[in-house]
Amino acid sequence: MNAETAVQLPLNLDHRPALGADDFLVAPSNTEAVGWIDRWPDWDAPGLTIHGPAGCGKSHLLNVWRSRSHAAMVNIAELCRGLDPTELLGSSSAAAVDCGSADEAADETTMFHLYNTVAERGGGLLLAAREPPARWPIALADLASRLSALPAISLQAPDDRLLAAVLIKQFSDRQLAVGEEVIDYLMARIERSFAAARELVQALDQAALAGHRRVTIPLARDVLQR
C-alpha cells in the first residue's frame, strides 16, 4: 500500500487552509468553531473564545483566523509584561491571543486595554485557551464581564476518525508509505491529541531514516516502547 493509497482511505473529511502548507481537518469535534471562523468578519460579537484540551487544534484555528483577518498575534508572555496594546496591535484592528494554559497569568489591565482598543478600531478578538473566560480567576470586574460575554466555543479532543486522518496526512506530508494496518496499530495506542500524532509521526520518520527501514508495525512497536 503506497502513500497515495493511504491518503485516499474513505474518511470523508473536509480540508481547510491553514497558515503555511498545512490543512485543517474539519470534524464534529471542531465544526462549530470552524463555522465561526468562516463567518468572519460577520460576527455578532466583538470577539470569540475557543477553548479545549491541549492538542485539540486551538492554535491551528487561531492561525487560520489570523491569516484571514490579518490580526496581530499576541502571546501570553506579551500580556504578562504589561505592554501598550497599541504596540501589540501595530496597525492591525484585530488580535489573536494564545492564552495557552496560563489563562490567569495575563496582566489584566493590559488585556482590558487590548479588548477596548480592538473594539475602538472596529476589529475582532479571538482568544484560545484551555478553559472559557467564565472560569478564569479574573479580579478586574470590567474585564471579567466583557470576556465572559463573548461567545465561548468548545473544541473536543479528536475522535478516532479525525485522529486517523491526521496520522495519514502527517505520513503523507513526509512522503512515507504506511499501510492501513500500521494506522490501526497506532490508533489503538496513541494519546488522543494532534500534538501526540505529530510527535509520533516525527519519531517514526526519524527511526525509519536512521535504520533504513519502512514504517511497519515492528518499527512502530520499537518507537512506542522508547
Query: What CATH number is given to the structural domain containing 57?
Result: 3.40.50.300
What stretch of H or E contains 50? strand 47-51
Residue 63: φ, ψ to 5°: -70, -35
3-state secondary structure (DSSP) of residue 109: helix
The residue from 119, 154, 189 where one domain ends is 154
The residue from 154, 185, 200 where one domain ends is 154
Inform me whether the pLDDT recorded for 184 exceeds 90. Answer: yes
At residue 187 the predicted structure's pLDDT band, cuts being 50, 70 and 90, is very high
Q: According to the model, what pLDDT value does residue 152 have?
A: 97
Give the range of the structural domain holding residue 184, as residue numbers without chain letter: 3-12+158-225
Shared domain check, 174 and 139? no
Report if residue 200 sits inside a domain: yes
Q: According to the model, what pLDDT value does residue 226 have?
A: 85
What does DSSP say about strands 47-51 and 125-129: parallel, antiparallel, or unpaired? parallel
* DSSP assigned state of 47: E
Among the listed ranges 17-21, 28-32, 33-37, which one has the minimum average pLDDT value? 17-21
Domains contained in the chain, number: 2
The residue from 154, 172, 196 where one domain ends is 154
Report if residue 21 sits inside a domain: no
Which of the pair, 77 or 206, is modelled with greater confidence? 206
Q: According to the model, what pLDDT value does residue 115 have?
A: 95
For residues 40-49, give the mean pLDDT. 94
Among the listed ranges 76-80, 113-117, 121-125, which one has the minimum average pLDDT value? 76-80
